[in-house]
Amino acid sequence: TDSGNNLYRVVLIGETGVGKSTLTSIFAGLQNNLENWGVLGEDTYERTITVDGEGATLVVMDTWENKDEDNWKQNHCMLIGDAYLIVYSITDRASFEKASELRIQLRRTRQAEDIPIILVGNKCDLVRCREVSVAEGRSCAVVFDCKFIETSAAVQHNVQELFEGIVRQVRLRRDSK
């Protein structure tokens, strides 16, 4: 990806059912018009947003679910992202544990790189079904060495902040080079 054009490939990974596709589509609908969107493929979208006064084009890839039997696509996902959103559901502890597996897999695949990652605890509207506390999410992110945010795609809480946040994480690394 050409960082000179502020084009960032953002890949969502996480257990099935945690809300990756819903988060992606909410982000896609924020401007209520699709003119700024280019559909690049079945699950890949491009949109330009302004963050802190500077434009950034996000290529958002919600391709994780389409598994090939040989896992080719998942390995590909691990290789192509400029940044990752590791998503779990706060109502599903197994998905939280899966997030740790994915973090380890990502670290193995991209060993020498300092990849921007946000750990995303989605479905925070479902307070009565919560299985993973905010404190657990936060301390997991410390271990992961990444940012943490809780979101709700259902009530559109922190979704825009999430995508702005990942742009800021990419820029922090860019600007420190």
Question: Which parts of this chain interact with ligand GDP (CB under 6 A)?
Answer: 14, 16-22, 65, 122-123, 125-126, 152-154
- Asked if residue 3 lies in contact with residue 171, where contact means CB atoms within 8 angstroms, the answer is no
Whichever of 1 and 25 has its CB closer to ligand GDP, that residue is 25
Q: From the CB of 91, what's the least distance to Mg ion, in Å?
A: 16
Q: Which two tokens stand for residue 174?
A: 């860019």
**Which one of the spans 14-22, 67-75, 130-138, 147-155 is the region binding Mg ion (CB under 5 A)?**
14-22
Long-range contacts of 142-147 (CB under 8 A, 24+ apart): 144/86, 144/100, 144/103, 144/117, 144/119, 146/86, 146/103, 146/116, 146/117, 146/118, 146/119, 147/117, 147/118, 147/119
Binds 28: which of ligand GDP, Mg ion, none (CB < 5-8 Å by kind): none
Binds 22: which of Mg ion, ligand GDP, none (CB < 5-8 Å by kind): ligand GDP
Q: Is 21 in the site for Mg ion (CB under 5 A)?
A: yes
**Which one of the spans 33-41, 60-68, 97-105, 150-158 is the region binding Mg ion (CB under 5 A)?**
60-68
From 102, 38, 27, select the one nearest 64 (Cα to Cα).
102
Whichever of 81 and 171 has its CB closer to Mg ion, that residue is 81
- Asked if residue 116 lies in contact with residue 84, where contact means CB atoms within 8 angstroms, the answer is yes
| Chain contacts with Mg ion (rule: CB under 5 A) | 20-21, 65
